[in-house]
A and B are shown apart, each in its own frame.
Chain A
Amino acid sequence: MSETLNTQKPRIDGALKLSGGADYTADINLDGQLYGYPVGSAIASGELEGLELEEALGMPGVVDIFHHDNFDRTLKHSPNSFAEKNTVSEPRLPFEDTTIHYHGQYIALVVADTFEHARAAAQKVKGKYRANDQVISQFDELDADNVAGLPGVLQEGDGQSRGEADTAFDAAEVTLDHHYSIATETHAAMELHASTATWSGDHLTVYESTQGVVFQRHALSHVFSMPPEQINVISHFIGSGFGGKLFMWPHAIMTAVASRRLKRPVKTVVPRQSVFTSAGSRPRSIQRVRLGARADGTLTSIRHDGSNETAFVGMHNDTVISATPSMYACENVSVTNRVGEVNHGMPCPMRAPGEAPGLFALETAMDELAWQLEMDPVELRKKNFAERDPASDLPWSSNHLIECWDNAAKRFGWENRTAEIGAMREGDEIIGYGMASQSWEAMRLQCSARVTFLSDGRLQVSCGTQDIGTGTYTIVAQTASELSGVPIEDIDVRLGDSSLPSGPLSGGSFATATVLPAVKAALDAATQALIDKVTQDGQAFSDVDSGSIELSDRALTYGDRSIPVTTLLEELGIGQVTAEASAEPGDEQSEYSFRSFGAVFVEVRWDPGISRLKVERIVSTIDIGRAINPMTARNQVEGGLVMGLGMALFEQTEYDKSGYLYNANLADYIVPVHADIPPIDVELLDYPDYHLNAFGARGVGEIGLTGIAAAISNAVYHATGKRIRDLPISIERLLMAN
């Protein structure tokens, strides 16, 4: 069929983004708007005994300062339910009590007439604290007495275990048992979190940088005890989020309260430092992996015990073990995860949560096992390929992991690898090759959409999801164009508005698989609505069985009779025909297991004379079903690989012993820059997964970030003989490791 699907299409919002015309939240200015600027706690643990406000209140332009003593007592907690779409990031309400749980916790919001005035006054608000002697941490050191040797409290419901992992481990011919750790990371989306609130009577409109307009609407409705219909959340363009903007943060509540009390729009752009302290992170994790195998490489036992930090203000289980039960055919698998509270800001999902940290541990362990067995790491994985999902014992909907391994190895030139450590050299540089498997669960959720035939021939498609940079605007337009015959330039896509039919979060790589079926359902419904009208007495198709009329090439057709939709609308004397419909997953969810897979190969160069490690090139072959737009899909995978390069080598959100977040800025929190980027070769396999949806698409946002850190770590070992099990693989770790 396809002319527009599975085709490289430049983004329909490209001209706006490239010319400065796309409006992100902070770009929106409303008449009479005031500016909010938050004040963060200087300590991480203790009590806020008071605030010095006098100087700030007397400064030019200051309208009001919001804090514990004057904050709105009518606010309620959101139930924080994913199923009911009201999840929030930090359950605690802003200024709710005077306990300080983390460095940077908001202690006040200054509101003034200009940005400059708000910031100047905020800098004069000082907290008076009674600091706890020591930061409270249940996560500081490994607890050897603990069953898993890991800190934190065991979480229920993680046991997707099967067989007898411990018994099998004890009986295994070859075993390994190692701990892996990953530093706290921060999403650091380029767009600062921002919220602008304005009230009109009892109606609240919030412009927010969010990955979920519908979730935020529902959360606000609980916090403010208002019906959702009285709240609208708008987010036309988002400067990405990577999970950091999935769920509402306290700044949005503070801003809406301030706007209500002051009866003027209030805009709060969260300063970069506060984005680090108070708007999410991937929590530090420690993992223990035990593998048992036969001498021929057959896995007989996998035990993967994880743990992650969470905050005192809320529980976040990062489920680092989530991929493990499905990765390899092994009869005995045990997984657990533990969570421990610390005086740090609230963690939240960060791109490929669970899988990115979990596959670092598992895929590094697999490499270690391959060395122990003196086996090629690719062969070891192939030996343990799972023909069906061993966790659910369901068949895969579609799984081409073997082709991923083979293709990527070939593109990379894996056959040129000399297995011996440090044996490959060029000049002063030692070359290392490493590889790992990649995986991400493919989900699909319920979704509604609306389609309208407009009198001028255009087709309008609306859905309450949003485009965070993944290309949702474009693939919705491609899909609607493909199905209707309306050229893509005449598709008017509306997203990023919670008053539209309820759409999904932009996260978890499920937006594409979720939204497109709803677009199809809505188009079918709108077409049927049109057919119903034109088959009535006196209309163009009154003599025809409505079931035989089709929409094609912008016209309704029956046999050789074809009448353009615009003509039909004109004859009907109505401006447009519109319909809304929903689509949701069905029985296939219990019949198949849905997962995307990939393989990533990396070459590193290590120059021991100057302790310089660099990634020389990356090759990845990915099986994501069908890419609706291979250009934007490939871009997603490449971006994930880049973020994974940062995870492997640079990124660590550092807290000192007092819980002070030391590097809350983009100079000291090291993310990859352009000069760090090696040539990247991404191949997308094209095996549509029609079990998941009619478009065969499984989603692509996360998978690039899985496996890559392990592949880099494995390549580092190949080059240096140093097995670094702690991320990031910093210079000091390379220098100090044996």
Chain B
Amino acid sequence: MRAFDYARPGAVGAAIAAHAKADSAYLAGGTTLLDLAKIDIMQPEQVVDINGLGLDRIERLEDGRVRVGALVTNTALARHELIETHYPVLSQALLSGASTQLRNKATTGGNVMQRVRCPYFRDGASPCNKREPGSGCSAIGGVNRETFAVLGTSEQCIAAHPSDMCVAMAAIGATVSVHGPKGTREIDFGAFHLLPGSTPEREHALEPDELITHVTLNAPERDARSGYLKLRDRASYQFALASCAAQLTLKGGVIRSPRIALGGVATKPWRALEAERILEGKAPSKALFEQAAKAAFKTATAYEHNAFKIPLGQHAIIAELGKLTGLATTQEAS
């Protein structure tokens, strides 16, 4: 961990200006930044503490959307009445992540910016295209079980995106508001995270010095039901091996506006669009869910140790859809 300078500006503009002055990192909850700084993977010259910016409110906009400040903690977001009522998938996803202590610190903006959990990326020494472009990927041919993807991978990188929150947001639909030296802009949540492709070092759509100020959740559909199912080895305090966030409505006995997103199995929060197309307008049935689940993993690539994520991810989809449509009795563990 290198020594760094510390700034704690009181306004967004000042934060961006401070950030632009040096090789900087924004500090929100610190659960990613300090973790990676300690192991020398992130080496900022300056840390810009944004906890004084007041971005910690959750509010319902006139158009029905819900705007979440970047500094709202995972705990506060999960327990907020608006979220518990209208976005159970998000509340459940947040509460399934990390631990009580970490959720008390981790923030909405920070979680959007969470880095991958690949040990080869984190060790500072192994070849890793994300850390050192062109050096190779140690995970392909190495151990690639728990935190590795089967969807959206490339020959350059196969690390899974680790967030639970982001999977729920992908299912809900959201917009990321950013401020930068050139002003403000909105980024569609689905376009925020980038596939590794041939540039795994580029993980997101932020430009230099840009700061996430809010994430705005799409307005909930009337009568929408949603939920999150996370599967892992132990019962808590572990990243997803596979997870499914689902949101849908049931009208006239058929599924409408299904939105399915997957976690633990993909290099970014993963919309299962093909599965959604299969579900749209159909009456719920086990066979339908199996068909959707199969479609969701049609393009999957299994690696040496994570092939099981394909059936596991399919199980997650089928079980969550069954739960939401009342077909299955399987309950997610509390």
Contacts and interface: CB of A to CB of B under 8 A. Distances in A.
B229 A668 contact: no
Given A609-B328, A610-B315, A673-B235, 16 more contacts: A60-B3, A427-B330, A656-B141, A656-B142, A656-B143, A657-B141, A660-B126, A662-B143, A663-B146, A668-B147, A673-B234, A674-B236, A730-B233, A731-B233, A732-B145, A732-B305
Contact of A609 (B119, B146, B330): B330
A610 B330 contact: yes
Interface in B311-332: 311-312, 315-316, 318-319, 322, 328-330
A676 B123 CA distance: 29
User: Among the interface residues A120, A614, A656, A674, which one has the most CB atoms of the partner chain B within 10 A?
Assistant: A656
Contacts of A144: none
12 contacts: A42-B125, A120-B2, A123-B39, A427-B330, A609-B315, A610-B319, A660-B143, A668-B146, A670-B233, A673-B236, A675-B234, A731-B231
A674 to B, nearest CB: 7
User: Among the interface residues B146, B229, B239, which one has the most CB atoms of the partner chain A within 10 A?
Assistant: B146
Nearest to B328: A609
Interface in B288-334: 305, 307-308, 311-312, 315-316, 318-319, 322, 328-330, 333
B225 interface: no
A428 B125 contact: no
B208 interface: no
Interface string B113-136: 000010100011110000000000
Given A60-B3, A610-B319, A675-B234, A663 B119 contact: yes
A302 interface: no
A667 B117 contact: yes
B6 interface: no
Interface of B: 1-3, 38-40, 117, 119, 123-126, 138, 141-143, 145-147, 229, 231, 233-239, 241, 305, 307-308, 311-312, 315-316, 318-319, 322, 328-330, 333
Contacts of B229: 610
A489 interface: no
Contacts of B40: 123
A331 to B, nearest CB: 43
A612 B239 CA distance: 15
B1 A611 contact: no
A428 B305 CA distance: 28
Main SS at interface, chain A:
loop
A611 B318 contact: no
A147 interface: no
Nearest to A428: B330
Contacts of A663: 119, 143, 146
B234 A670 contact: yes
B126 A672 contact: no
Contacts of B329: 427-428
Contacts of B305: 732
Contact of B142 (A662, A667, A670, A671): A662
A731 B125 contact: no
A664 B308 CA distance: 23
A656 B322 CA distance: 38
Contacts of B2: 120
User: Among the interface residues A123, A649, A736, which one has the most CB atoms of the partner chain B within 10 A?
Assistant: A123
A675 B236 contact: yes
A376 interface: no
A295 interface: no
A670 B124 CA distance: 22
Contacts of B3: 60, 116, 120
B1 A119 contact: yes
Nearest to B123: A42
A120 B234 CA distance: 34
Interface string A626-662: 0000000000000000000000011000111110101
A670 B315 contact: no
A658 B142 CA distance: 8
Contacts of A649: 233-234
Contact of A672 (B138, B234, B241, B333): B234
Contacts of A668: 117, 119, 146-147
Contacts of B238: 667, 670
